[in-house]
């Protein structure tokens, strides 16, 4: 397993070692011992979530506030998505910066998104299966977020505006400057 820290401290790209032969392939999706040795982060995942989405579905940018904050290990099982992590830790030197990566069922890459980050993804293919492990339980009252097309963040979602499909709650999220208040 190859583990590389992104330019956002505590946010790691994880690339598993894939073993393949004429039958198909095999790889270890997660190994707590190796993860902790390579990152220095102790994590205890308590909830696994999965979504299946058609091309153009954009989920985000979301976070859980306060004691309900979550770190996530995200990956695409099938299909392809652009995944975004935004550092929203007030005292971080990369506050307001984002990291973007294409995750797919072919490349098997994963992204570890630490607590204090906003997170979102947009599906680039139909029937994309997106999976994520969380180190804290979901709490509806702690849910918050920023609008996907915020001008300050200027994120390239790899989709045109007319391709993007949003939930009603994601359509009314505040922008970055409003959210900081």
Q: Which residues are catalytic?
A: 62, 132
Environment class of residue 157 by beta-carbon count within 10 Å: exposed (0-12), middle (13-18) or buried (19+)? buried
Cα distance between residue 146 and residue 60, in whole Å:
7
Cβ neighbours for 2, distance < 8 A, ≥ 6 positions apart: 14, 15, 17
């Amino acid at each position: 397993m190859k583990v590389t820290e992104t330019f956002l401290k505590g946010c790691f790209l994880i690339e598993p070692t894939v073993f393949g032969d004429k039958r198909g392939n095999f790889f270890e999706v997660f190994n707590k011992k190796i993860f902790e040795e390579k990152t220095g982060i102790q994590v205890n995942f308590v909830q696994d979530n999965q979504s299946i989405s058609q091309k153009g579905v954009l989920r985000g940018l979301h976070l859980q506030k306060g004691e309900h904050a979550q770190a996530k290990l995200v990956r695409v099982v099938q299909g392809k998505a652009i995944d975004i992590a935004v550092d929203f830790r007030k005292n971080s030197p990369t506050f307001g910066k984002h990291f973007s990566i294409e995750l797919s069922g072919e490349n098997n890459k994963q992204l570890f998104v630490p607590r204090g980050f906003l997170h979102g993804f947009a599906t680039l293919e139909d029937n994309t299966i997106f999976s994520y492990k969380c180190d804290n339980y979901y709490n509806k009252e702690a849910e918050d977020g920023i609008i996907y097309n915020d001008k300050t963040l200027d994120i390239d979602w790899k989709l045109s505006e007319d391709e993007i499909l949003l939930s009603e709650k994601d359509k009314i999220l505040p922008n970055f400057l409003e959210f900081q208040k």
